[in-house]
């Protein structure tokens, strides 16, 4: 109900509830892609209540691109602080219950939100809805469906699925604002998955098995191997810290993934003449997942100083 003062009289008007959603688009020097991303938002068959573009200190033509959309976009500019800080700025500015994320270099299918929002509306136990997605490689190749090679199982454990190869890109997601707090701004790798897995601890996570967005890879988007490994390990450490009540099974999945990453990092460093660092990684791999036979073998060879053929 809305109360309005009309000519000195208080008029009470009943307003039909309209479920809106907020779109948050973080961007940093993505002017060449941003227009396509915003066009795909405004082409939605179910229009958003608001579109928030958070410019994380861009030095290109981002402001001019946003200016093309006039009053249809709320523009927030901040000093460069990383994608998590940009997304959090958008969350704090959002007015609606449902949050749709769109990376500035990705695009949506026109019916993406029309297919996802009703699932949140109809089932209050659902905290996050994702979807199948296509991938445009930096070299021009296209993967038309991620789920074709990695089928989603709505009856499976999301943790098990993620640690077995499921991917949940931010642009495929709609979630309830406040389902698990904000993004962890200390993370530079896996910050999105960190939030999504926290949501999965308390809410149902479901997927629409249709390609509703396209993830576009950039030529400059790949991280150095070592940075990626260390960033992923930090994310898993933070996940364990943030979720002290993880079930034994889920904690085992996290530890097994940590062990796999530590093994890869230890092998990489050992092969590149950094045996001492590699040894530390391999010790951690065995500690986190003692059943990892490859980690045990690599550690034994590292400790013995063996210089012959190494396990694969």
- Domain segments of the chain: what residues? 21-216, 225-304
Judged against a pLDDT cut of 60, whether residue 151 lies above it is answered with yes
- Contact between 96 and 17 under an 8 Å Cβ cutoff? The reply is no
Distances (CA, A) of 242 to 18, 201, 238: 34, 11, 6
Q: How far is residue 227 CA from its own chain's centroid?
A: 18
Judged against a pLDDT cut of 60, whether residue 17 lies above it is answered with no
Judged against a pLDDT cut of 90, whether residue 252 lies above it is answered with yes
Structure tokens at 15: 């307003």
212-232 burial, b if ≥16 CB within 10 A, otherwise e? bbbbbbeeeeeeeeeebbbbb
Residues contacting 298, CB < 8 A, separation 6+:
263, 266, 267, 270, 282, 310, 311
* Mean per-residue pLDDT, 83-89: 98
Q: Give the DSSP letter of residue 10.
A: E
Judged against a pLDDT cut of 50, whether residue 18 lies above it is answered with no
Q: How many CB atoms lie within 10 A of CB 195?
A: 26
* Mean per-residue pLDDT, 216-221: 81
| Structure confidence at residue 75 as a pLDDT band (50, 70, 90) | very high
Domain spanning 225-304, CATH class: mainly alpha
Distances (CA, A) of 305 to 85, 108, 223, 275: 45, 53, 31, 9
Angle between helices 248-271 and 293-304 (to 10 degrees): 40
| Structure confidence at residue 153 as a pLDDT band (50, 70, 90) | confident
CA end-to-end span of the chain: 67
What is the C-alpha separation between 209 and 204, in angstroms, rounded? Answer: 16
If one looks up domain 21-216 in CATH, what number appears? 3.90.550.10
What is the pLDDT at residue 246? 92
Maximum CA pair distance of the chain? 92
- Tracing tokens 């396990």 back to the chain, one arrives at 311
SS3 23: strand
Structure tokens at 17: 């509830």
* Mean per-residue pLDDT, 20-42: 96
**pLDDT averaged over the chain?**
89
Judged against a pLDDT cut of 80, whether residue 25 lies above it is answered with yes
């Amino acid at each position: 109900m809305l109360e309005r003062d009309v000519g000195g009289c208080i008029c009470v008007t009943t307003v039909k509830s309209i479920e809106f959603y907020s779109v948050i688009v973080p961007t940093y020097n993505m002017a060449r892609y941003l227009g396509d991303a915003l066009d795909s938002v405004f082409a939605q068959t179910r229009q958003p209540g608001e579109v928030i573009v958070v410019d994380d200190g861009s030095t290109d033509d981002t402001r001019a691109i946003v200016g093309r959309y006039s009053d249809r976009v709320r523009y927030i500019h901040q000093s460069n602080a990383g994608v998590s800080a940009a997304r959090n700025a958008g969350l704090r500015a959002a007015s609606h219950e449902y949050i749709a994320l769109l990376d500035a270099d990705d695009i949506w299918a026109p019916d993406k939100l029309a297919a996802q929002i009703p699932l949140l509306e109809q089932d209050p136990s659902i905290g996050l809805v994702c979807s199948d997605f296509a991938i445009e490689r930096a070299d021009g190749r296209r993967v038309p469906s991620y789920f074709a090679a990695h089928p989603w199982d709505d009856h499976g454990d999301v943790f098990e699925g993620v640690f077995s190869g499921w991917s949940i890109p931010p642009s495929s997601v709609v979630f309830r604002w406040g389902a698990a707090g904000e993004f962890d701004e200390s993370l530079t790798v896996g910050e999105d998955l960190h939030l999504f897995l926290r949501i999965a601890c308390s809410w149902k996570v479901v997927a629409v098995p249709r390609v509703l967005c396209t993830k576009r890879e950039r030529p400059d988007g790949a991280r150095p191997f070592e940075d990626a490994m260390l960033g992923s390990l930090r994310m898993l450490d933070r996940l364990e810290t943030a979720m002290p009540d993880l079930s034994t099974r889920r904690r085992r999945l996290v530890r097994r993934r940590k062990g796999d990453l530590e093994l890869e990092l230890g092998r990489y460093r050992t092969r590149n003449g950094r045996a001492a660092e590699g040894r530390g990684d391999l010790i951690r791999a065995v500690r986190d997942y003692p059943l990892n036979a490859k980690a045990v073998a690599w550690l034994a060879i590292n400790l013995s100083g063996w210089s012959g053929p190494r396990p694969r």
